[in-house]
């Protein structure tokens, strides 16, 4: 019994990789696409991760081809690979969609696939990938999202080498079932709304902090990383649906306003705090300073 429990990843271990991915996108990219491992361990410890979990998460991302070993200024570290930069950029496209609802007039992207029973695992991976991109399931092997999700759908299909088994369409709904009914069946709107409300409840007090009560840099870093990590999960269930198909009192816009306010208030101090754990940058010479 004890062996079974010990073999299961702890809650900290399960949390470490998603938080590390958020750290790569929100901190490592702005600081030059490279991170010192010792500084990373110390920074993420401030966010509640132990050193072993961080190093395990780094090792797994290295195996996935996201990180490559690189020392700078005598410090061991890791650089983001082109694969990681591409994946983070693709994630950005999805993450920021929810901040601007889709235009109903742009139509819809529809994906239909025919994958044989013998390839059930591949079919499951495709449906899981489409769901994680915010696509809604409206029928057997039929998934739909706003038309702007077409590039993301194509990438998901190509990555699984299923182009020959999938049909992808973009167009308008011209009749049949009410659009609001279809959307209500395809997405769990109450659950998505609940998650937005949870975000507002958890971080609303930070957004209400008075101007004369500044955050210290460490708290700004921890809060900033937590806000980004929490937020980036939300749009992967909500592709930024048009307002016309959403329920009354939809909390997404209020959550967006809070998120944007927090990012504007926190990112500068958070990055300044993180930069202290990076190797010191050489000061420019007089000639370089003059030319800059």
Give the integer Cα–Cα distance in Å for 260 and 254.
Answer: 10
pLDDT in tens, 62-74: 999 999 999 999 9
Q: Which residue has the higher pLDDT, 208 or 51?
A: 51
Q: How confident is the model at residue 215 (pLDDT cuts 50, 70, 90)?
A: low
pLDDT in tens, 145-184: 999 989 889 988 998 888 888 999 999 988 888 889 999 9
Q: What is the pLDDT of residue 129?
A: 87
What pTM, to 2 d.p., does this model score?
A: 0.80
Q: Which residue has the higher pLDDT, 230 or 92?
A: 230
pLDDT over threshold 90, residue 218: yes
Q: Which residue has the higher pLDDT, 213 or 266?
A: 266
Q: Which residue has the higher pLDDT, 189 or 288?
A: 189
Going by C-alpha positions, the residue among 281, 289, 273 that lies closest to residue 44 is: 273
Q: Is 136 helix (H, G, I), strand (E, B) or coil?
A: strand
pLDDT in tens, 104-131: 999 999 999 987 777 788 888 889 989 8
Give the integer Cα–Cα distance in Å for 232 and 94.
Answer: 9
Q: Is 285 helix (H, G, I), strand (E, B) or coil?
A: coil
Q: Which residue has the higher pLDDT, 223 or 240?
A: 223
The topology under which CATH files domain 10-85 is Arc Repressor Mutant, subunit A (1.10.10)
First vs last C-alpha separation in the chain: 64
pLDDT over threshold 50, residue 6: no
The DSSP symbol for 65 reads T
- How much is the average pLDDT of 208-214? 62
Give the integer Cα–Cα distance in Å for 72 and 77.
Answer: 7
Q: Is 62 helix (H, G, I), strand (E, B) or coil?
A: helix
Partners of 168 in beta bridges: 111
pLDDT in tens, 179-198: 899 999 999 999 999 999 99
Class of domain 108-171: alpha beta
Partners of 68 in beta bridges: 79
pLDDT over threshold 70, residue 1: no
pLDDT over threshold 60, residue 102: yes
Residues present in the chain in total = 292
Mean pLDDT over each residue of the chain, to the nearest integer: 86
Q: What is the pLDDT of residue 14?
A: 58
Contact 73, 38 (CB under 8 A): no
Partners of 137 in beta bridges: 143
């Amino acid at each position: 019994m004890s062996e079974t429990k010990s073999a299961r990843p702890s809650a900290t271990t399960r949390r470490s990789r998603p938080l590390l991915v958020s750290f790569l996108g929100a901190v490592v990219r702005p600081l030059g696409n490279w991170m010192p491992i010792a500084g990373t361990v110390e920074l993420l410890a401030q966010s509640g991760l132990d050193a072993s979990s961080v190093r395990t998460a780094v090792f797994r991302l290295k195996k996935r081809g996201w990180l490559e070993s690189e020392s700078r200024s005598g410090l061991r570290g890791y650089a983001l690979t082109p694969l990681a930069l591409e994946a983070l950029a693709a994630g950005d496209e999805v993450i920021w969609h929810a901040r601007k609802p889709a235009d109903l007039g742009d139509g819809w992207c529809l994906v239909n696939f025919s994958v044989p029973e013998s390839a059930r695992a591949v079919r499951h991976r495709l449906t899981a990938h489409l769901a994680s991109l915010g696509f809604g399931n409206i029928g057997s092997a039929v998934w739909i999202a706003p038309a702007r999700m077409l590039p993301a759908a194509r990438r998901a299909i190509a990555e699984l080498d299923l182009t020959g088994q999938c049909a992808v369409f973009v167009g308008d709904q011209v009749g049949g079932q009410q659009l609001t009914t279809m959307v209500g069946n395809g997405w769990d709107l109450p659950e998505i709304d609940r998650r937005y409300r949870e975000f507002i409840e958890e971080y609303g007090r930070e957004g209400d902090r008075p101007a004369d009560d500044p955050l210290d840099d460490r708290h700004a870093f921890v809060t900033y990383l937590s806000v980004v990590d929490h937020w980036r999960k939300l749009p992967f269930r909500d592709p930024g649906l048009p307002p016309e198909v959403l329920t009354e009192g939809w909390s997404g816009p209020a959550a967006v306003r809070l998120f944007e306010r927090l990012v504007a208030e926190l990112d500068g101090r958070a990055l300044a705090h993180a930069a202290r754990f990076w190797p010191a940058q050489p000061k420019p010479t007089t000639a370089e300073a003059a030319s800059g």
